[in-house]
Structure 1
Amino acid sequence: MSKRAKRKVSEASTPAIAQLEAAGIEFATYEYEHSADHMEGGYGREAAAKLGIDPRQVYKTLMADTGDERVIAVVPVSGRLNLKALAAAVGAKKARLADTRTAQRESGYVVGGISPFGQRNAHRTVLDDGALHFERILVSGGKRGFDVALAPADLLNILGASTAPLAEA
């Protein structure tokens, strides 16, 4: 995996890439042709299938609302977000998925391309602890058909994120 520091941050293709380049960490980009009628399993499963990568290593970014704040959950595409576990991880009584319009407005990205990086509004982020079993995970790079691979520790450091068991099979 190559470091993408040769390109100036101002020339980055997405805000996510700009944030990663500014942080100076190693990451790799993966592109695939997104199908307008994405695969039945969702955008993340489409990415895993088209890139030939284990779905347990490809992560989706979801926005949830606890009533007091919006939080970001990063979970494997092979599982589902356990909202009770997310609420517990952030010290809330409950959590529910934010509606699509809110997620798009606050993140600055379209659904299927929401990255945990470079969001319009910063949110507390929780990464499923299963990510720590992998040297690299893939997350959206900020648009459909565009992912970035990086070490889970780098995601945690850049975003000041925490980990918790969030995914259920």
Structure 2
Amino acid sequence: MFENFLIRSDSLKNEVNDGEVTGFSLAVRHANYRGVYLSLHNGYYLEVDGTEYPTEVQRFEINGKPPRTFDEIRTAVHEHWDYDDEAILHVTAPGGLAAGNHTVRFQQSVLAAYGYLPTDEEWVKNPPKPGTGAGSDKAPQIVTYKLTLNEQEEN
């Protein structure tokens, strides 16, 4: 159920910096009603129109701070992402996306659980790859969204 609300449907847009389209972004929410400490957020499985965008090209913006890599977020042990707070996922993709409809396949990877699990220590050292289902918490499936990119916006 929560996975149906992970992406705000009208949020897909290209990002333009110094007159050049450098990627795209979309607004995301957390799947667990308890929220999560950012250090447990491991990134996303993200595929748009058959092209996969790994965590290395993803940046995450939350709590009024500039976009950060997931390696940087891993150290944010005292910073919380509340369930109702919207974040922005920035994706580096030179040229961005074409205007029009896009098929987005998406899964959140958050290393959160109720109590201790045998995987906890291993995942801190070697986080699972988003999209494998490991660390997916309340959204265990890759979810398909149909989103429309209407226009380019200057940042």
**TM-score normalised by L of structure 2:** 0.29
RCO comparison, higher one (Cα < 8 Å, 6+): 2
> Hey, which of these two has a bigger chunk of strand by percent?
2
